[in-house]
Copies of this chain bind each other. A is one copy, B any other.
Amino acid sequence: MDFAPELLELGARAQAAARRLAFAATAEKNRALRELAAALPRAEDEILAANALDLAQAAEKGLPPVLSDRLALTPQGIRAMARAAEEVADLPDPVGGGEFWTRPNGLKIEKTRVPLGVIAIIYEARPNVTTDAAALCLKAGNACVLRGGSEALQSNLVLARLIGAAVESAGLPAGCVQLLPWSERVYAEQLMRLDRYIDVLIPRGGAALIQNVARNATVPVIETGTGVCHAFVDAAADMDKAIRVVVNAKTNKPAVCNALETVLVHRAAAAVFLPRLAAEFQAAGVEMRGCAETRALIPAAAEATEEDWSAEYGGLIISIRVVADLDEALDHIYRYGTKHSETILTEDYSAAQRFLRETDAAAVYVNASTRFTDGGRFGFGAEIGISTQKLHARGPMGLAELTTVKYVVYGDGHIVT
Contacts and interface: CB of A to CB of B under 8 A. Distances in A.
Interface in A385-414: 389-392, 394-395, 404-414
Given A369-B415, A415-B252, A390 B117 contact: yes
Q: How many copies does the complex hold?
A: 2
Given A357-B23, A390-B199, A406-B361, A414 B372 contact: yes
Given A19-B334, A117-B360, A389-B220, A394 B415 contact: no
A391 B391 contact: yes
Interface stretch (A101-109, A130-138, A300-308): A101-109
Contact of A409 (B22, B220, B363, B409): B363
9 contacts: A23-B357, A101-B379, A238-B413, A367-B412, A368-B414, A371-B416, A373-B407, A394-B406, A395-B407
Nearest to A410: B366
Contacts of A369: 411, 414-416
Contacts of A417: 252
Contacts of A392: 391-392
Interface stretch (A78-86, A165-173, A239-247): A239-247
B413 A245 contact: yes
Interface in A347-396: 356-358, 360-369, 371-373, 377-379, 389-392, 394-395
A365 B240 CA distance: 61
Interface of A: 19, 22-23, 101, 103, 107, 109, 114, 116-117, 199-200, 220, 222, 238, 240-241, 244-245, 248-249, 252-253, 334, 356-358, 360-369, 371-373, 377-379, 389-392, 394-395, 404-417
A414 B245 contact: yes
Contact of A220 (B240, B373, B391, B411): B391
Nearest to A104: B379
The residue among A222, A362, A366, A390 with the most chain B CB atoms within 10 A of its own CB is: A390
A379 B111 CA distance: 12
A248 B417 CA distance: 8
Given A22-B358, A372-B409, 20 more contacts: A19-B360, A23-B357, A103-B378, A103-B379, A114-B360, A116-B391, A245-B413, A248-B415, A252-B417, A362-B407, A363-B409, A364-B407, A365-B411, A367-B414, A369-B411, A372-B416, A391-B404, A392-B392, A394-B405, A395-B405
